[in-house]
Amino acid sequence: MKLAIMQPYVFPYIGYFQLINAVDVFIFYDDVNFIKGGWIHRNKLLVNNSEYLFTVPLLKPSSFRKLTEIEINPKIYISWRHNFFKTLQQSYSKAPYYNEVLPLIERVLKNHISANIGKIAARSVMEVCEYLEIKNQLFFSSERFAASQNKGRTERLIYIAKLLEADTYINAIGGKKLYRNEDFNKEGIKLEFIKTGEIEYTQYSNEFVPNLSIIDVMMFNSKEQIQIMLNRYELI
């Protein structure tokens, strides 16, 4: 059984969904500390043929608090959401799949003023997985593995993998700096890292802008096209 564990992100890039698609069980790592300056609550869209950073407003974000403890800022969120959808309309209304994708985004952002960022981010991922027909098991670490929070970074991943009887653990490519194959191998678990291949598609008639949110991918590509993209990776 193949396992991946990663913090939830709001409408992340396609590589995140390649990781989910590559495993049997995916765990949202939502009971770890929030990363200030990270990508949990923000990503990039295409605006005026250039990348544009959007950021979901949070209430007192802190690297000393867990994702489950970081809430949306209710005083700012409604106006931010209005402007966000206005930006989507201005930037993507002429994209071929705008009308198909917009309701998905609305389901994620319309009714979550009092939610924590971990739940909203995970919701965005789950909605996209349903849309793309990625059908594997999704769990939250805060709900099923909270008892392992006192373990070290590598130790906790191995503990969860063994608990689920996973024989392969797949991590994003950035994890090569954090995790060692020998630590997993000695526990009978194969460690692999997923590296996204070249992905390019038509964004209107302009020069391609890479590494944007999955929102951009869905606006310009059919489900079938994206499903092909999900397999453009290598495991190393």
What residues contact 200, with CB distance under 8 A and at least 6 apart?
A: 208, 210
> In a 3-state reduction of DSSP, which class is residue 23?
coil
Q: Left, alpha or beta for 133 (phi > 0: left; psi -120 to 50: alpha)? A: left
Structural domain harbouring 10: 2-235
pLDDT, position 206? 83
Q: How many domains does the chain have?
A: 1
> Closest by alpha carbon to 220, among 90, 49, 98, 128?
98
pLDDT tens digits along 133-167: 999 999 999 999 999 999 999 999 999 999 999 99
In this prediction, residue 28 carries a pLDDT of 97
Query: What was the pLDDT predicted at 36?
Result: 87
pLDDT at 229 over 70: yes
Contact between 132 and 230 (Cβ < 8 Å): yes
CA separation for the pair 164, 74 (Å, rounded): 38
Please report the pLDDT score of residue 114 as a whole number. Answer: 67
182 to 154, 159, 170, 179: CA distances (angstroms): 11, 15, 14, 9
**pLDDT over 80 at 67, yes or no:** yes
Residue 111 has pLDDT above 80, yes or no: no
Q: How far apart are CA 188 and CA 203, in angstroms?
A: 45
pLDDT tens readout for residues 139-148: 999 999 999 9
Residue 66 pLDDT exceeds 80:
yes
For residue 115, what pLDDT band results from cuts at 50, 70 and 90?
A: confident
